[in-house]
Amino acid sequence: METTLAAEPVPVTSIDAGALADFDAVVRDHQPAVSRFLLASLREREPAENLTQECFLRAYRARQSFRGDASVRTWLMRIAVNLLNDHRKSARLRFWRQVAQTSLDTSFTGDWLADRRTSPEAEAVARQQVEAVWRAAAELSERQRTVFLLRFVEEMGIGEIAAATGIQEGTVKAHLFRAVEAVRRKVRETP
């Protein structure tokens, strides 16, 4: 059976080192994604904000060494993933462990579900399913969760994820497959 990778969900813009000349624009364009990825990974606002600042500070300091081998987004995500790994090593990550045991505040989901679901019942079902995905994500290994979030929250392609995490594409696929399997299992178990 011939297997191909799915098309990249978000096209990678071809850039060169000059793309970092206007660093304000880099921050403006990429800060939301970096911040979102870190917040989704950590689920704690303060460390996510600190790491976001640290990520851009490191990028700012290292901007002269950026050669444009990857997109700016991939480069920044790589810095963010490294910071995240360092942060995890410091054992300050608690939310994802807690979320596996306690209930989640998903009141925020109302806005994004409102225009998709018409009936309250359908909305409740959708909310439950999303909660189940969140819980499943909480139980994934750190690496599986990183890959899962980069794919489904940041909508990055396999190649981009490999570049951002520094792991082989085959390994990314394996982690992603296991993550999807685990999430589907969890959703199926949801009453």
Partner 1 sequence: MSGHLSPVEISEWLAGMRGTDAERHLADCADCGAQVERESELLARFGAATRAWCAAETPAAKPELLAPMLRRRHRVAALRVVLATAAALMVAAPVYYQQQRALVTARQDEVLLEQVQTEVSRSAPEPMQPLEKLVAWNAAAAVSGSSQ
Please tell me the distance from the alpha carbon of residue 84 to that of residue 79, in angstroms, as a whole number: 9
Per-residue x/- mask for partner 1, residues 113 to 152, rule CB under 8 A? x--x---------x--xx--xx--x-----------x-xx
Tell me if 183 sits within 8 A of 136, measured CB to CB.
yes
Distance CA 95, CA 19 (A): 36
Question: Please, are residues 137 and 146 in contact by the beta-carbon 8 Å criterion?
Answer: no
Site string (35-74) toward partner 1, x via CB under 8 A: xx--xx----x--xx--xx--xx--xx-------------
Q: At what angle do helices 169-189 and 158-165 cross, to 10 degrees?
A: 110
Binding residues for partner 1, rule: CB under 8 A, are 1-6, 23-24, 27-28, 31-32, 35-36, 39-40, 45, 48-49, 52-53, 56-57, 60-61, 106, 108-109, 111-113, 116, 126, 129-130, 133-134, 137, 149, 151-153, 155, 157-158, 173, 176-177, 179-181, 183-184, 187
